């Protein structure tokens, strides 16, 4: 037989019993040619280009998924950072573009479009300032738009002025979307070292170095890794890494296969596979559960950071052997509200924000989908973000913060977003003042390790 | 090398070794050459380039007539069964077939729908997929 019985049954077990799916096929589209001094004309061009380029994607993804017998959970779009689409530098101009994007996405059935973004790691253009000012209204008056800001990089340092603006706009967005658990903040992420080819939301955007149109895939598969670890039993840690590598290899191969076939059907280039283990709130689809299967009583126990370091490294090694098109964030995501095991660990007080912060130094992104009390001070929020971004800047990795200062909520309560975004328990954040530090404003210069030429 | 080219190569070998007055032992020569030729062909190419096989799996409670139920459908649709294998997993029946749909009278979608329909009739779970994922996951 061309394939052995075991190979066929194991592959079916991955897809049918272990929640394995391809998390997202994301079509990246450059919108730089949609610039126009008249915002209405720019918005019209954006709408028309999105409709023209993206319409065939869902059918192409469905046909490929049916051929191969694999589920693709999401079809998404990433677009050029909108602050780079030159138009009149006023918030109202960018809002017009935001609504055009949302309308196109809704008509074509895409749940999220990423790229309502500004790259301000080394300072602001007038367009950046106008876009930043429009973000709270954009996120509260649209449903499918995702927004991000790159506020620091290992080459340029940390733009603390941008971090303070982000803290302010998060509070405003939380207030404007207070009726739905401050959900606007779940569609916004602030980065250090943002990557240009990330297919995952909310931080996706189509970088300026990418081709006109490109197909990326983001794989998932914590369930597959978890079951492989359980089957391996009480092996030593080197063997455990080998087990995870093998599972990651298989997952990544499928991600690349789907991406290449969808790209082929659309006649556009294939970009990258993002190897991230991405959880969903569904049972058996949890990164927290993987960490517990490795031998922790609960996520948040001593040893959690070490276990996550091993997991992230093994996923990267297995994935890198499976494809030569690795990109995006690639590692393991730890979004609290989107992971059933992390939610309960946070609720029971085992997983503090400080422990999460430590974990982000070894995982692929950062403090993701954490909720804090709505009355948190702006400067405290800015300090919280600055800490996380500093970890990324000094360690030459991407870090990010997606935090929901849930309006009107206190520690111990929960905000529910439903669907993939899940339920976020409100966690305790230290309220000690850092205004004397972040209030100084300006830029934390780039670390000495930035001088590499 | 596709099947036609393979057939030509085989004929050439036979003609080379077996002239009108073929000596004894010529047949061994033919066999030895053929074995060398076939072993030098990678597995996929030996089955022809262009052939994109379909993996068909049926899972369910063991009962009589399951293989027949599906092979009947496949014969009606002119789908070639390249390989077939079955096993019992914890009292459940698992049948796997590798199909060559290139001569089929219907499209892949219709083939899948027909097999799914028959699966519902006989009460087993049916999975029909191109071999691409099996190859990607299990072959380097």
Please give the average pLDDT of every successive group of 10 residues along chain A, which has 453 residues. 85 87 95 97 98 96 95 95 96 98 96 97 97 98 97 98 98 97 97 96 96 95 93 96 95 95 96 92 90 97 97 95 92 91 94 96 91 97 98 96 97 91 95 97 96 89
Q: Which residue in chain A has the smallest CA separation from B138? A: A7
- Asked if A2's CB is within 8 angstroms of B98's CB, the reply is yes
DSSP state of A326: B
- Asked if B96's CB is within 8 angstroms of A2's CB, the reply is no
Hey, where are the domains in chain A?
Answer: 215-374+383-396+408-447
B93 in contact with A at a CB cutoff of 8 Å? no
The per-residue pLDDT for B43 is 45
- Asked if A7's CB is within 8 angstroms of B134's CB, the reply is yes
pLDDT band at B46 (very low <50, low <70, confident <90, very high): very low
Mean pLDDT is lowest, of A275-279, B12-16, B125-129, for: B12-16
The per-residue pLDDT for B4 is 63
How many CB pairs below 8 Å do chains A and B form together? 70
Looking at the complex, report in whole angstroms how far the Cα of residue B108 sits from the nearest Cα belonging to chain A. Answer: 8
Q: What are phi and psi of A279, to 5 degrees?
A: -80, 165
pLDDT > 70? residue B65? yes
Round to whole Å and give the CA distance between A169 and A72: 33
Looking at the complex, report in whole angstroms how far the Cα of residue B100 sits from the nearest Cα belonging to chain A. Answer: 12
Percent of chain B with pLDDT over 70: 86
B138 in contact with A at a CB cutoff of 8 Å? yes
- pTM of the entire predicted model: 0.87
Which chain A positions have a beta carbon within 8 Å of B128's beta carbon?
69
Hey, where are the domains in chain B?
Answer: 3-46, 54-138
Give Cα A262 distance to the centre of its chain: 22
B113 in contact with A at a CB cutoff of 8 Å? no
The per-residue pLDDT for B2 is 58
Q: Which residue in chain B has the smallest CA separation from A8? A: B134
Q: Is residue A92 classed as helix, strand or coil in its secondary structure?
A: helix
The per-residue pLDDT for B10 is 77
Looking at the complex, report in whole angstroms how far the Cα of residue B47 sits from the nearest Cα belonging to chain A. Answer: 10
Q: Which of B51, B58, B92, B136 to mutate to test the interface with A (most CBs of A within 10 A)?
A: B136
pLDDT > 50? residue B50? yes
The per-residue pLDDT for B47 is 47
The interface pTM score, or ipTM, of the predicted complex is 0.82
DSSP state of A296: -
Domain covering B54-138, topology: Alpha-Beta Plaits (3.30.70)
Which chain B positions have a beta carbon within 8 Å of A250's beta carbon?
137
Q: Which residue in chain A has the smallest CA separation from B85? A: A5
Which chain B positions have a beta carbon within 8 Å of A62's beta carbon?
none
Residues 260 to 279 of A: which have CB under 8 A from any B CB? 261
Looking at the complex, report in whole angstroms how far the Cα of residue A201 sits from the nearest Cα belonging to chain B. Answer: 26
> Radius of gyration over alpha carbons of chain A, in Å?
21
A11 in contact with B at a CB cutoff of 8 Å? yes
Q: Which residue in chain B has the smallest CA separation from A321? A: B140
Round to whole Å and give the CA distance between A271 and A25: 11
Residue A315, H or E segment: helix A304-322
Q: What are phi and psi of A226, to 5 degrees?
A: -60, -45
Round to whole Å and give the CA distance between A265 and A267: 6
The domain over range A215-374+383-396+408-447 is classified in CATH as 3.10.20.30 = no
């Amino acid at each position: 037989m061309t394939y052995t019985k075991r190979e066929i049954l194991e592959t079916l077990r991955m897809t049918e019993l272990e929640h394995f799916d391809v998390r997202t096929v994301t079509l990246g589209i450059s919108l730089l040619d949609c610039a126009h001094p008249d915002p209405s004309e720019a918005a019209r061009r954006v709408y028309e280009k999105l409709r023209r380029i993206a319409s065939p994607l869902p059918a192409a993804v469905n046909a490929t998924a049916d051929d191969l017998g694999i589920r693709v959970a999401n079809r998404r779009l990433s677009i050029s950072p909108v602050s780079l689409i030159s138009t009149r530098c006023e918030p109202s101009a960018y809002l017009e573009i935001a609504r055009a994007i949302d309308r196109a996405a809704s008509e074509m059935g895409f749940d999220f479009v990423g790229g309502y973004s500004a790259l301000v790691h080394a300072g602001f253009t007038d367009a950046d300032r106008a876009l930043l000012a429009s973000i709270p209204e954009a996120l509260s008056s649209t449903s499918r738009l995702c927004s991000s800001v790159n506020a620091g990089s290992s080459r340029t340092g940390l733009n603390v002025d941008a971090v303070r603006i982000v803290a302010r706009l998060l509070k405003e967005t939380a207030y404007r979307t207070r009726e739905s658990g401050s959900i606007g903040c779940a569609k916004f992420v602030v980065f250090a070292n943002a990557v240009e080819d990330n297919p995952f939301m909310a931080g996706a955007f189509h970088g300026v170095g990418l081709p006109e149109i490109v197909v990326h895939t983001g794989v998932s598969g914590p369930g597959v890794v978890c079951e492989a670890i359980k089957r391996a039993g009480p092996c030593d840690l080197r063997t455990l890494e080998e087990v995870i590598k093998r599972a990651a290899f298989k997952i990544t191969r499928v991600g690349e296969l789907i991406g290449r076939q969808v790209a082929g059907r659309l006649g556009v280039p294939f970009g990258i596979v993002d190897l991230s283990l991405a959880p969903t709130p569904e049972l058996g689809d949890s990164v927290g559960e993987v960490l517990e299967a490795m031998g922790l009583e609960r996520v948040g126990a001593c040893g959690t950071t070490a276990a996550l370091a091993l997991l992230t490294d093994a996923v990267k090694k297995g994935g890198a052997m499976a494809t030569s098109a690795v990109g995006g964030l690639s590692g393991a995501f730890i979004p609290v509200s989107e992971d059933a095991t992390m939610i309960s660990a946070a609720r029971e007080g085992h997983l503090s924000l400080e422990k999460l912060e430590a974990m982000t130094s070894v995982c692929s992104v950062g403090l993701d989908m954490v909720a804090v009390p709505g009355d948190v001070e702006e400067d405290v929020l800015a300090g919280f973000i600055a800490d996380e971004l500093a970890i990324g800047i000094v360690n030459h990795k991407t870090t990010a913060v997606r935090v929901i200062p849930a309006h009107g909520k206190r520690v111990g309560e929960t905000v529910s977003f439903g669907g993939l975004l899940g339920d976020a328990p409100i966690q305790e954040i230290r309220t000690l003042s850092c205004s004397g530090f972040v209030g100084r404003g300006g830029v934390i210069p780039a670390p000495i390790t930035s001088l590499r030429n | 090398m596709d099947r036609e080219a393979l057939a030509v190569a085989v004929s050439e070998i036979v003609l080379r070794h077996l002239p009108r007055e073929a000596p004894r032992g010529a047949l061994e020569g033919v066999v030895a050459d053929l074995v060398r030729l076939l072993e030098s062909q990678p597995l996929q190419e030996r089955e022809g380039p262009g052939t994109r096989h379909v993996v068909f799996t049926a899972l369910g409670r063991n009962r009589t007539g399951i293989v027949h139920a599906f092979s009947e459908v496949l014969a009606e649709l002119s789908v070639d069964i390249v390989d077939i294998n079955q096993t019992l997993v914890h009292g459940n029946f698992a049948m796997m077939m590798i199909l060559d749909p290139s001569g089929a009278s219907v499209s892949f979608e219709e083939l899948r729908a027909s097999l799914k329909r028959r699966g519902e009739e006989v009460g087993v779970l049916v999975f029909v997929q191109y071999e691409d994922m099996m190859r990607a996951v299990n072959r380097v």
